Amino acid sequence: MLFWILAALLTLAAALAVMRPFATRKASPAGGADHDIEVYRDQLDELGRDVERGLIASAEAEQARAEIGRRILKVSEIAEQQQAGDTNPNAVRLIAAIAILAVPLVSWGLYIATGSPGMPSQPLQARLEQAPSNTSIDDLIARAEAHLADNPQDVRGWQVLVPIYMRLGRFADAETALRNIVRLSGESAELQGALGEMIVGRAQGVVTAEAEAAFKSALALDPGDPKARFFVALARAQEGRLPEAHAAWRDLAADLPDGSPWREAASQALAGSENAAAQANAEAAPGPSDEDVAAAADMTPDDRRAMIAGMVAQLDEKLRENPTDADGWRRLIRSYMVLRQSDDARSALERAVAALGAGSPQSQELEAFAASLGIAVE
């Protein structure tokens, strides 16, 4: 009830503020024109007396009378126009008052007819105190966050929030909650692995250096932790070190029992990566000539890498001239991954998708191929 009283008072104050200029409008002085005309008439009388005394010639007197007459006519016209514009000032004020007051009255009427004025207010604290069965997921999260703000040492509260944040895709919040759990409970392989997974989710599937550090911490605590082993192998694949990744996934699948979700994940990752690599090798361009091989044999590792980088640069230049060559894009992406230039590989994938058309079959195949090499498709 207090809210409606305050709303009514504020609305009334706003309406009065708008009406004030109309209520205080001053009418044009009624006697202003009459006073000017009286002055001009006195000037005519004074002019007549000057003519009688011989102080002014008749011709000049006539010109002065004509000028005074024109001024009298002008003042009379202005007075008539003002009277026409201010015919009924009270009517103007009445119309303005009705128009201004109609806005809140009509809005209140519509709300009473279509709204819910009788519904009680629901402040945040009252919603947080409701039974969980009667509250939404957002209110439950707000309740938990408010509780943890007052009780940051409650490990159970942070543990409850982590899976909820994950389901909602709030990886940064999930990471914060996990770090609080680690701070309160101490390090464990499970917590470090979960923390690394949160960081990977925040990075849209890329195993960053920070995430890998968390997985290695998990392996230091438990060398057999399957989650950490899987993601460390994925990090090697994303760097282009496919033999190491394949070996790690094979060992992981061999060590886990049937039905283990991480064994299935390792097998799928291994199969997809090997198939993509075999397809890339089958579709690769012919190898270097005998002269190239002989020249490369005498090179230092740095010179040999520079020669390979030059060949990759030539392929990149050709694709800029002919961007519809899907096989060329595949070779370029794989070459960049072999050179451990993951950023260039991701950039090449983006250019290829733009050239081949987003959503086209060729783009989809290329994205799947890149994903098998560990390149996250954004």
The answer as to whether 35 is a domain residue is yes
Quick one: 155 and 269 in the same domain?
A: yes
Quick one: 100 and 180 in the same domain?
A: no
Please state, in angstroms and rounded to a whole number, the distance separating the CA atoms of residues 241 and 337: 8
Chain centroid offset of residue 71 CA: 69
Quick one: 314 and 263 in the same domain?
A: no
Per-residue model confidence as pLDDT tens digits over 327-341: 888 888 888 877 778
Specify the pLDDT at position 19.
67
pTM (two decimals)? 0.42
Token code pair at residue 23:
């209520």
Contact 222, 256 (CB under 8 A): no
List, as own/partner pairs, every contact residues 232-236 make where C-beta atoms lie below 8 angstroms and the sequence separation is at least 24, other chains included. 232/207, 233/266, 233/269, 234/207, 234/269, 234/374, 235/207, 235/211, 235/374
User: Of 345, 344, 354, whose CA–CA distance to 373 is shortest?
Assistant: 345
Token code pair at residue 40:
């001009």
The answer as to whether 124 is a domain residue is no
Please state, in angstroms and rounded to a whole number, the distance separating the CA atoms of residues 206 and 278: 23
Please state, in angstroms and rounded to a whole number, the distance separating the CA atoms of residues 20 and 144: 51
Final residue in a domain of this structure, among 257, 282, 307: 282
Please state, in angstroms and rounded to a whole number, the distance separating the CA atoms of residues 195 and 198: 5
Quick one: 310 and 277 in the same domain?
A: no
Mean pLDDT of the chain: 76
User: What domain range includes position 336?
Assistant: 290-372
Distances from the Cα of 2 to the Cαs of 8, 10, 103, 121, 322, in angstroms? 10, 12, 22, 11, 73
User: Amino acid identity, residue 87?
Assistant: T
Please state, in angstroms and rounded to a whole number, the distance separating the CA atoms of residues 305 and 302: 5
Contact 342, 240 (CB under 8 A): yes
- Angle, CA of 101, 104 and 109, to the nearest 5°: 120
Q: Is the pLDDT of residue 222 over 90?
A: yes
Q: Please report, for the domain that includes residue 302, its CATH number.
A: 1.25.40
The answer as to whether 275 is a domain residue is yes
Average pLDDT, integer, range 286-297: 48
**CB atoms < 10 A from the CB of 366, how many?**
22
Confidence of residue 3 (pLDDT cuts 50, 70, 90): low
Per-residue model confidence as pLDDT tens digits over 14-39: 777 766 666 665 545 445 667 777 88
The answer as to whether 127 is a domain residue is no
**CB atoms < 10 A from the CB of 246, how many?**
18
Average pLDDT, integer, range 91-104: 70
Average pLDDT, integer, range 61-68: 81
Q: What's the domain count of the chain?
A: 3
